[in-house]
Amino acid sequence: MSTNIKELIPSIVNKVSSSIVAIVTAGAVVDEWLNVIPIRGFGTGFAVDKHYVATASHVVSQLGEVTVVTSDGDLLETELVGADPEVDTAVLRVDGELNPIKLGDSDKIMVGEPVIAIGYPLGLMNQPTATFGIVSALGRTIRTGEIMLEGLIQTDAAINPGNSGGPLVNLDGEVVGINTAIIAGAQNIGFAIPINLARLSINELISKGVVEKPRIGIYGIDINRILARQYRLPVDRGVLVVSVQPYSPADEAGLRRGDVITSIDDVELSSIVRLKTYLYSRYVEGKREFKLRVMRGRKTMTVNVSL
């Protein structure tokens, strides 16, 4: 990796731009007077295969026509393969060949690491734009409508309307996240889905068209040293259970709010994303029984969860 940022950033943007596409959607909504109102939306995607584009599910959530526009200005016929709203990920199949971008390892990113958000904000259709910043935080949880998005990457790289679905790229030119949300009224706060989590959905959508998703039935947040001290938790790594869904496998197994999950099948946990990716990968292999090590206060116990 070059140490000359002035030369490095433009070379990365130039290298990956051909893999990044604009997404234009056309649909309609019905107002309170039952009038049909046409609407258009804009977003961004990136090629994960010669014929497949990954984006955010909310970019293509409106029923209607979806068009992909390449950096060269070509309009490609597009088919929605499938979407996973709970991870805000979707896959499109295009009639044409694209240049796939390399996917990185989001488990290796660190707070303070430089990143580039690339996309087509506000429906601008020339070349993709780039904004530069750092990873501000990891393991964030936000609610968007009825969906709770967990384990997000927070960045101060500017993410504007239309950037959604585009890649968050590291200085190796690898995708480490999918840009997903901004907070209205906040400055320099944007969020991205970690690519290790999104990749599982992308692969399932390409191979099956749907995502068969294992559920424990908890919402959780990552534990760090500050959080552990603030809430007097017995450990400074793991997943803090903030809620348990009624009648879920976690509920039936006896998990409670305030429990700390420190490992699954003896694999140490440092984040909710690590828990989810382990569940997804092993579930695809046919595994249905999982062993959790849980701390409740100062007591350590083993909880068996059946999915």
Among 89, 102, 114, CA closest to 180: 89
Is residue 263 annotated as part of the catalytic site, yes or no? no
The whole-model pTM stands at: 0.81
- Distant-in-sequence, close-in-space partners of 215: CB < 8 Å, separation ≥ 6: 248, 249, 307
What tokens does 55 get?
């984006």
pLDDT value of position 186: 56
List 17, 57, 71, 164, catalytic entry? 164
List 58, 106, 201, 271, catalytic entry? 58
The topology (CATH level 3) of 16-94 is Thrombin, subunit H (2.40.10)
Could you read off the pLDDT of 114-164 as tens digits, one per residue?
A: 999 999 986 666 678 899 999 998 888 887 777 778 889 999 998 887 888
Among 46, 80, 45, 53, CA closest to 64: 80
Neighbours of 29 (CB within 10 A): 10
176 phi, psi to nearest 5 deg: -110, -10
The stretch 47-75 carries a mean pLDDT of 88
Examine domains 16-94 and 106-208 and report if their fold is the same: yes
Asked if the model's pLDDT at residue 89 lies above 80, the reply is yes
Is residue 51 annotated as part of the catalytic site, yes or no? no
Domain 218-306 grouped into CATH 2.30.42.10? yes
Asked if the model's pLDDT at residue 285 lies above 50, the reply is yes
Domain spans of the chain, in order of start: 16-94, 106-208, 218-306
Q: What's the chain's Rg over C-alpha atoms?
A: 20
pLDDT value of position 46: 97
Please check whether residue 157 is in contact with residue 115, taking contact to mean a CB–CB distance below 8 angstroms.
Answer: yes
pLDDT value of position 2: 46
Reduced to 3 states, what is the DSSP secondary structure of residue 111?
A: coil
List 19, 51, 88, 263, catalytic entry? 88
The stretch 219-247 carries a mean pLDDT of 87
Kind of pairing between the strands at 260-264 and 239-244: antiparallel
DSSP codes joined into one string, 154-176: EE-S---TT-TTPEEE-TTS-EE
How would you class 55 by CB atoms within 10 Å of its CB: exposed for 0-12, middle for 13-18, buried for 19 or more? buried
What tokens does 180 get?
């997903």
192 phi, psi to nearest 5 deg: -140, 145
Asked if the model's pLDDT at residue 261 lies above 70, the reply is yes
Is residue 105 annotated as part of the catalytic site, yes or no? no
pLDDT value of position 44: 94
Architecture of the CATH domain 106-208: Beta Barrel (2.40)
What tokens does 80 get?
């929605």
